[in-house]
Amino acid sequence: MSAHATAVGHAAQPQGGVGVYTQKVGMWVFLVSEVMFFTALIGSYIILRWGTGAPWPDPRTVLAIPITALNTFILICSSVSMVKAYAAATRDDQAGLKKWLLLTVLGGATFVSVQAFEYHHLVEKGFLPSSGVFGSAFYTMTGFHGFHVTCGVISMIWVTIRAFRGKYAGGNYRGVETIGLYWHFVDLVWIILFTIVYLI
């Protein structure tokens, strides 16, 4: 693709009022709403645990922290591979873009699978959403986050399919950047959840 064609392609895509393309603005608006949602969940958990004075089980005796720590590392690695995918897209490195997107999908799918295994293990031990306030809070927060990661994996698969079809060639990497913003958000939220729920 020529430089002229690339420039025309970019010019044809609508820009927001602040000089940012509309998909990116839309993702930022969506993420702001998600920040408020998870802030409410985390704030409720903090109040329930430390603000009511009610007895609270030790997470180390209930949760599978070593497995979840490994899962956290996998999710962080997937965020790194997403950065690599975006960098490859900006260089129009199509082979690198496909490789790093596939690794990101693999990391996200592995995270969801390990979380499902963790849930199965906890349920077998008798730790259920009905096991008390801690059980309800744990499954609500981690469940909603797992749902967000699942949605991210599905979206990432679609972006990867488009990458294999050459849709992000010639400097058209906006779709990669947009899904990358979402992916980094769910990674950051999980680090906060893991710290508060599992480690403290």
Quick: pLDDT tens for 116-170: 999 999 999 999 999 889 999 999 999 999 999 999 999 999 999 999 999 999 8
Amino acid code (one letter) for 59: P
We report the CATH number of the domain holding residue 74 as 1.20.120.80
pLDDT of 7 reads: 40
What number is the average pLDDT over the span 85-105?
96
Give the pLDDT score at 5.
42
pLDDT of residue 127: 94
Residue 161 to residues 16, 76, 169, 178, 180, Cα–Cα distance (Å): 27, 23, 13, 15, 15
What token pair was written down for 188?
A: 């950051």
Q: How confident is the model at residue 11 (pLDDT cuts 50, 70, 90)?
A: very low
The tokens describing 59, both together, are 């997470």
* Full domain range(s) for residue 129: 3-199
pLDDT confidence of residue 55: 81
Report the chain's mean pLDDT, rounded to a whole number. Answer: 89
Q: How many CB atoms lie within 10 A of CB 18?
A: 7
| Cβ atoms 138, 119 nearer than 8 A | no
Could you give the C-alpha distances from 110 to 11, 71, 153, 179, in angstroms and in order? 38, 8, 10, 18
Beta-carbon count within 10 A of 7 CB: 11
pLDDT of residue 17: 52
List the structure tokens of 7. 């420039």
Task: Please give the share of the chain, as a percent, with pLDDT higher than 90.
Answer: 78
What are the φ/ψ torsions at residue 169 (nearest 5 degrees)?
-85, 160
Our count of domains for the chain comes to 1
